[in-house]
Amino acid sequence: MRARLVFGLSSVLLLALPGAAQAPFAGRTVTILVGYSPGGGYDRVARIVARHLPRYLPGNPTVVVQNMPGANSMVAANHLYSVARPDGLTIGLFARNLVLAQLAGVEGMRADVRKWQWIGSPAVETDVMAIRGDLPYQHVLDLRAADPPVSMGASGPGDVTYDFPLVLKAFLKLNLRIVSGYPGSADIILAIERREVDGRAGSWSSLRLFVQRGLLRPLVRTPSDNPELRGVPVDQDLVREAIAKAILKLRAVPNRLGRPFVAPPAAPLELVRLYREAFERMSKDRDFRAEMERAGVEVTHVSAEECLRLVNEVFAASPSVVRVFREFFRFQ
């Protein structure tokens, strides 16, 4: 307890120094902790942010990315929440679906997403399920009669690559076979190219380039205003049962969080404020927007306040919906 008090007082004194007040990040290194391995969508966004964020933080710090994969980013989230020093120099980028994991009471989820200091997100996302472009199925409901079953590559329960096909299989009666165990999205794409599996689900920003190449054909998506997806059916429009609509609606809420960045609950408030301001200004930067768009990500700044509002929307779900939802949502 005494050590924590001394650390806290040191942080306050540091920020009180004239130089620190002018440039609190000067000479410091900021670490972005990413809950996935290199090469995937979260890692790609983190590295773009790391290249552009320094010039928007007072003192122009060095920003580095540290990958800590495991349990679909739950390992990294728990680490930031209860192990990493809350000095404001380590922030996190984890699966947006962690809010659903907490709602479902997933074992091992120690971080409380309602206590994060939300920084914001540079993008919103849309979940898409896509199959190989050379397969004959043109509409998602054609997969009801697929023979043999269409195999979908997945990382594991709790990730969009697994959970989206799972609920679609259940509510749309699709003949799918989920093949899990791939370390990340890049590995699934390689498996599709080798024809080990027939398709995958994921964020549109992660799939867009492969659709443009003709490797994949999008068949169904979550709600989105993205004009590129206008002709792709929306999952909620394809079901009639009220509980099915409610589950699909709840599952899609975190997409509006996009790629959210957070700070630990005890991080200095002044540094968190500076992060929030930096993310908002960075989202307007032409070079940042151009690099994000080249990576297939459409920049849409989501404020810290909006992130927390979306989290609260998830936790406001009715108990009856949560009970059914728990049957589909599992982490490993």
**What average pLDDT does the chain have?**
91
pLDDT in tens, 237-296: 999 999 999 999 999 999 999 999 999 999 999 999 999 999 999 999 999 999 999 988
pLDDT in tens, 7-50: 444 444 444 444 445 689 999 999 999 998 888 889 999 999 99
pLDDT in tens, 237-254: 999 999 999 999 999 999
Residue type (1 letter), 85:
R
Give the pLDDT band (50/70/90) at residue 331: low
pLDDT in tens, 157-210: 778 898 899 999 999 999 999 999 887 788 899 999 999 999 999 999 999 999
Structure tokens at 89: 């120099």
Q: Hey, what domains does the chain have and what are their CATH numbers?
A: 2-124+257-317 (3.40.190.150), 127-253 (3.40.190.10)
The answer on pLDDT for 5 being more than 60 is no
The secondary structure of residue 327, as a DSSP letter, is: T
Residue 87 Cα distances to 10, 14, 21, 23, angstroms: 10, 11, 15, 15
Whole-number Å distance between alpha carbons of 78 and 61 = 25
Evaluate whether 153 touches 196 at the Cβ level (below 8 Å): yes
The answer on pLDDT for 3 being more than 60 is no
Evaluate whether 98 touches 111 at the Cβ level (below 8 Å): yes
Print burial letters for 15-45: b (CB count within 10 Å at least 16), e (below 16).
eeeeebeeebbeebebbbbbbbbeebbbbbb
